Structure 1
């Protein structure tokens, strides 16, 4: 991350697919996501009710993090993706995206997600409560 740079958090419903793909790859999630399927990435973004971004406040405003969510903006929000470029991991960008989600949703909306195993500690550190009762039907493709 550039020295003396600030991070800008914003709602960005028209996020560019190439930028989204790049952050997925740079975050390490590219190995478990359909990063080579542009139509599916487009559908993932189009189907999200809330897309939040973290960008460096430097020339070009490079994307360094993204949160994608499904929500009714009233009762619950499911964070379906939280990705931060490896170069910005450990700098509070993921927490900043989660804080921005909480700010935009307000205090009456609960937030849930399913963590990748190696990210469990992060969610615990930012104060999320681990829930024992979650269920899953796996994808067929």
Structure 2
């Protein structure tokens, strides 16, 4: 297994959906146009590939100088625990820049993972839930 990382290789919507399903990421995988729009409107996408197989992705929105919101971090089930997620977070932070804070909202089952990457728990966030 040789995993390569890219900032310039955008996966297809089908590849993204397949990855999300494999990773168990709760996203609207039944709605391909919405997934496509999520990626079309994101400005920092780091991907991990094993040949032609998409094995990981970090999808973010950033201004590259103050804040970066890491919206999705997903690793294919059979590739977990190999450092791929950690590397995608590192690449994202490096590209966002030293002046950018990296922020994310973790699913309950992933909350123990992020402190292992050196991330702090935040208690000062707020949310307006999506309608659909």
Q: TM-score, normalised by structure 1?
A: 0.89
2:112 is paired with a residue of what secondary structure? Answer: helix
- What's the CA shift for 1:6? 2.2
Instruction: Give the superposed CA RMSD.
Output: 1.2
Classify 1:41/1:136 alpha carbon distance in 2 versus 1 (closer, same or farther; 3 Å).
same
Q: Deviations over 1:96-136 (max 9, x none)?
A: 10011122222121100000011111101010011111111
User: Which residue, 83, 99, 119 being the options, matches 2:90?
Assistant: 99
What are the ranges of 5 or more consecutive residues in structure 1 without an aligned counterpart? none
For residues 74-95 of structure 1, what are the alpha-carbon distances to aligned partners after superposition, in whole Å with 9 as ceiling and x for unaligned? 1110000001111011111100
Hey, which bits of structure 1, 4+ residues long, moved more than 2 A? 12-15
User: Which of 55, 73, 79 lines up with 2:70 in the alignment?
Assistant: 79
Instruction: Check whether the contact 2:65–2:98 (CA below 8 A) recurs between aligned residues.
Output: no
Given candidates 56, 59, 67, the residue that maps to 1:68 is 59
8 Å Cα contact 2:11-2:54 kept in structure 1: no
Gaps of at least 5 residues in structure 2 are: none
Deviations 1:37-61 (A, max 9, x none): 11101110001011110112x4xx3
Q: Distance in 1 between the 2:94 and 2:3 partners?
A: 16
What is the aligned residue count? 132
